Each structure stands twice: as C-alpha cells, then as structure tokens.
Structure 1
Amino acid sequence: MSSIFQMGLQYYHDNSNWLNEPFLVTFLAYFMIISGAITFSVEQFLKVPAAYGRFAHTFSTQFSINSKVGWIVQEAPSFIIAVYYLSSAESRFFNSNPRNRLLLMLFSLHYFHRSFIFPMFTKPKRPNPFITHVLGFIFCVWNGYLQGASLSRNELSSSSTFYYLGLVIFWTGAIINIKSDYYLISLRTKRDRKIKNGNGNGSGDNEKTKRDDDYATKSRTSDYIMPEGGFFDFVSCPNYFGETLEWFGYALASGCIGQWAFAFFTFANLAPRAVQYHQFYKTNFKNYPKQRKAYIPFVW
C-alpha cells in the first residue's frame, strides 16, 4: 500500500506542471475558443437562436425564471471573482504591473454595471428558460476566473502602443454598447406607454399613431418599435457591435490568450444573434433601411 502511495506522489511530482494554475488558465482559454467556435456554428449555420429575450419562446419555458433575477445571478460571478483577485494576496503583483490592474478594474466595472445597474432599468416581458441562466452563470464563473487569474499573474504581452490603442477601442465600444442598450430600453418604455394610453385622442395623436404604424408590424410583432438614429442607422444591433469592440480593445491592450479568448467568444456568441435580429427587423417592419447592416457597419 505504501509503495502505491509513493508511486502516486512520484506521479504528481513528475506531472505537477500539468496540474498548476498557469496550465489551467491556458487550458480554459483554448477551451473557450473551441466553445465559441461551436456556439457560432450552432447559431449561425444551424440557425438555432439563443433562448433569450425575443427568442426565449423558441425553447420550453416549463422551467423558467424571472428574467431580471436570472440576469443578476448570472452576471454577478464575473464581478465578484474579479474583485476577489484585485483585493487578494495576488494584488501585490499589481504593484509592479499597474496595467494589469487597470484592465481587471475595467473588466470589474463593466460587470458591476451589467450585474447591478443595467437590470434595474430593464422591463422584461417574459421569463427566460432556466437553462439559459444556468449556462450564463457557468460562463461568468469560468470567465471571471480566467480573467482574474491571468491578469493577476501574467505580464501583458502587448506593446505600449497597442495597450493605449486598446484602451481607446475599449471605451469607444463601451460607449456604443451602453448608449444603444439604454436607447432600446427607452423604446420599450415608449411602447408600454403607448399600449397603456391606447391610441390617444385628437388628430395630432392619430397622426402620430399612423406614423408609428407605418413601420410597426401588422401581426404578432405590433408591440415593437423599429430603432432609428445613432449607430442604429448603420447596424441593427449596435449594442452587440459595441460590446464586441469593447472586448476586442481589452484583448488588444493585453495581448494575452485569456483576453483574446474572451473577445473571440463574445464575437462568436453575439454575431449570430445580431444576424437573427437583423432578419427579424427585415421580415417584420416595412421599409426597413436596406443599407443597414446586421452587426459591423458597412461590412456585415
């Protein structure tokens, strides 16, 4: 028995390089890239939409959860884990690597907003499938650990030029993402107010209602309003484009595999959704602008 125990210790000693955190971080990063490629293929080529929001009805809601509660629980782990790494013993590493600290702080700031501020303004119409938020929770734990562990131990690979360029791209994407998200929320508020007040009285109200109906669908989507103005004049989903741009800048500033894996997964997850929303708008709204792209201005 003792010889078996000694053999086990020797095996661990000989292979400990496969079991340490740097290996785990690298493994999780490459696995995220593979998962992103699979997600993109399923949503883009098999046309399977993510069971969220407008497309939540495509999956069974027998086991569903309040969308707002599910969103908070789903997103919060990324913020909590990142803050843990910023405040734990590993934070000594940041004293000589302040650029790492700044990137992890930006990651934390994004997820603080996404977890605790953004959902307070949303007005979801329906619950989401429970499995959607379970998968989201798993991803946020996974990604929170990946970003926290990698940025608290590994020096950045990018040059100063790419670091500062990445920060500019990050903030540009964040502004586009946040402005677009809150504009969509304002449209939903406008829609709900219109439904609550009815069609209004008087010729002025009737004329406004007629203008609204000119681009509102006449069937099951009549409670949607076509977004217009700002980046919505260029793409159907500038919120998705902005978030992708945000994490591309984050990865460019880092130059490390953990951040590039997250940026790729963001693209792989959001690009097919943007195409699905674009098709929804084109199908259900009359005179939808032909020059408007789905995801990337002037390109796609």
Structure 2
Amino acid sequence: METAYLAALGIIGLLGLSTLGATLRQAGPYGRHMTAGQTGTMPARAAWLLFESPQWFAFALTFWLVAPPEAGPSSVMLFLFGLWQAHYFYRGLIYPLRMRDRHKSFPIVAVCFGFVFNLCNGFANAYAVGHAAHLMDTAWLGDPRFIVGLAVAAFGWVVNFQADNILLSLRGDGFTGYRIPHGGAFRWVSSANYFGEIVFWWGWAIMSWTPAGLVFALFSMANLMPRAVAHHRWYRTRFPDYPKNRRAVIPHLL
C-alpha cells in the first residue's frame, strides 16, 4: 500500500505540473472562459457533484479500511478526518446545491480530470494522516505546527466561505451574467474564493505535516493561481470601471 501512496503522490505532482502548464497558456474552458458553441459538456451542478465526490469516499474508505493503526485512529487523526469531511461536505455538496447558474455547463474532459485527481488526493491524504507517527500522539494537538496550521486553515475557510456568499449574491435577483464582486477579500483581489482555498490547504499542510498535505497545497497553487490571473485580466477587459488597486489572487503581490 505504501507503493500506491507514493504513486498517488507522483500522479498528483504530474497533474499539478500539467495543469500549471496548460492554464498558463490558456484558462480552462469552463465558467467565464467557455467558448460559444463549446461541445462535450454536461450540466455544471451535476459535474461539480460528480468530480468532487471522490474526496469524500476515497478519503473515508482509506481512512477506515487502509490507514488506521492497530490501536485505531488517534484523536488527532479523528480531528483531521472530521475537518476534511466537513470541508468537502460543504465544497462537494452544499456549495453546488447553492449554485444559481443552473444553465451553465462544464466540460466532460475536465470532470474526468477532476475525478481522477480527487480520487488520488483523497486516498493520499487519508493514507498520510493514518500512517504519520506524529499524528498518533495526542501531544500533536499542542504542537505549534498544529496550532498555526489550524489558525491558517480557519482564516482561509472564512475568506473562502465569505467570497462564495458574495459571488452567489450577485445572481440573487435572477441575473445570469457577471458583475463586479465587492466586499470581503474582494477589496484586494479579484479571486477571493481562490485565495481562501489556497490559504486553507496551506493550513492543512502545516497542521497535518505530511508529504500529501504539502503536495496538495502546491497543487492548489498550480491550479488556482494561473486561473485567478486569467480572471483578473477578464474582469479588467470586461469592466472599464474595474477597481485598479486589486490584484489577482494574493493581496498586494499577485
């Protein structure tokens, strides 16, 4: 099983590099970057529910059937399990059910890519959490890395959740196009939701202190930062009055 874990880490790394290279050339053709008459798509809500689902079941099955030590999972492991499942309960179920743009579509190729990535990532992170020696000791709950990581993750989640609410409210009146978001971290960046997501997973990487957590945090940056830059350019092209002081995804930097 250790071989499968290392292979999953390698696959995630390769997917991250390929995603970074592709997105730097052209933003993924979904959402605002879809082209007119694009084929090979499916409804966006169903697509989201499908490609996020492995993060639930792959993590849960690995955690309970493959990863637990003989003595059973420690309180630290159970906390991390609960945090992961809670995040994806929101991200993989609640959020897509709250989506207002039901007419939107999503490329099937991207759904397949997302499904494979999430399958590998859910397995790798659950295996890492279940086998990390430092996570078997309850003392880890008082370790500075756990405390700092938890604080970072909490901050990132709040930023991401607030950004989601702001974006969803832009279509609260039935409007189906795009508007300039305001408030929250949108004061400083065009993609506050991506900023929050990146920060959250760096918090996870710090608090879990595993190779899988680090690889996922790096993948999140490779996946979301180039797309955020593309969003930023799109906003500036689409809206002449777009706030000039905003950055793309990292306040005051990028």
Distance 2:118 2:78 in 1: 19
Matching residue of 1:231: 185
CA contact (8 A) 2:159 2:184 kept: no
How far apart are residue 189 of structure 1 and its match?
2.0
Distance 2:31 2:71 in 1: 39
How far apart are residue 86 of structure 1 and its match?
4.0
How far apart are residue 95 of structure 1 and its match?
4.5
Closer, same or farther in 2 for the Cα pair 1:265/1:102, shift >3 Å? same
1:160-204 deviation per Cα after TM superposition (whole angstroms, max 9, x unaligned): 1011100110111011111101210110223x25x8xxxxxxxxx
Distance 2:119 2:218 in 1: 17
Matching residue of 1:258: 212
Which amino acid in the other structure matches residue 274 of structure 1?
A: A
Equivalent in 279, 284, 293 of residue 233 of structure 2: 279
**SS of residue paired to 2:27:** coil
1:184 aligns with 2:167: yes
Distance 2:131 2:236 in 1: 47
- Would you say how many aligned residue pairs link Structure 1 and Structure 2? 248
Matching residue of 1:108: 85
Instruction: Kindly name which structure, 1 or 2, has the bigger radius of gyration based on alpha carbons.
Output: 1
Matching residue of 1:162: 145
How far apart are residue 299 of structure 1 and its match?
0.8
How far apart are residue 87 of structure 1 and its match?
3.8
Which amino acid in the other structure matches residue 35 of structure 2?
A: H
Runs (5+) with no aligned partner, structure 1: 1-20, 196-222
Matching residue of 1:41: 21
How far apart are residue 123 of structure 1 and its match?
2.0
**SS of residue paired to 1:128:** strand
Matching residue of 1:139: 117
How far apart are residue 121 of structure 1 and its match?
0.8
How far apart are residue 70 of structure 1 and its match?
1.0
Matching residue of 1:73: 50
CA contact (8 A) 2:11 2:120 kept: no
Closer, same or farther in 2 for the Cα pair 1:288/1:86, shift >3 Å? same
Closer, same or farther in 2 for the Cα pair 1:96/1:28, shift >3 Å? closer
Matching residue of 2:40: 63
Matching residue of 1:54: 32
Matching residue of 1:150: 128
CA contact (8 A) 2:63 2:127 kept: no
**SS of residue paired to 1:276:** helix
Deviates more, 1:282-291 or 1:259-268: 282-291
Equivalent in 237, 243, 246 of residue 289 of structure 1: 243
Identity across the alignment (%): 27
Which amino acid in the other structure matches residue 84 of structure 2?
A: F
Distance 1:120 1:297 in 2: 30
How far apart are residue 67 of structure 1 and its match?
0.8
CA contact (8 A) 1:176 1:242 kept: yes
Q: Output aligned runs, 1:16-35, within 5 Å.
A: 21-35=1-15
1:66-99 deviation per Cα after TM superposition (whole angstroms, max 9, x unaligned): 1101110111111112222344374455746322
Distance 1:263 1:100 in 2: 19
CA contact (8 A) 1:26 1:257 kept: no
How far apart are residue 61 of structure 1 and its match?
3.5
CA contact (8 A) 1:93 1:152 kept: no
**SS of residue paired to 1:111:** helix
Which amino acid in the other structure matches residue 88 of structure 1?
A: L
CA contact (8 A) 1:100 1:151 kept: yes
How far apart are residue 53 of structure 1 and its match?
1.2
Superposition RMSD in Å: 2.1
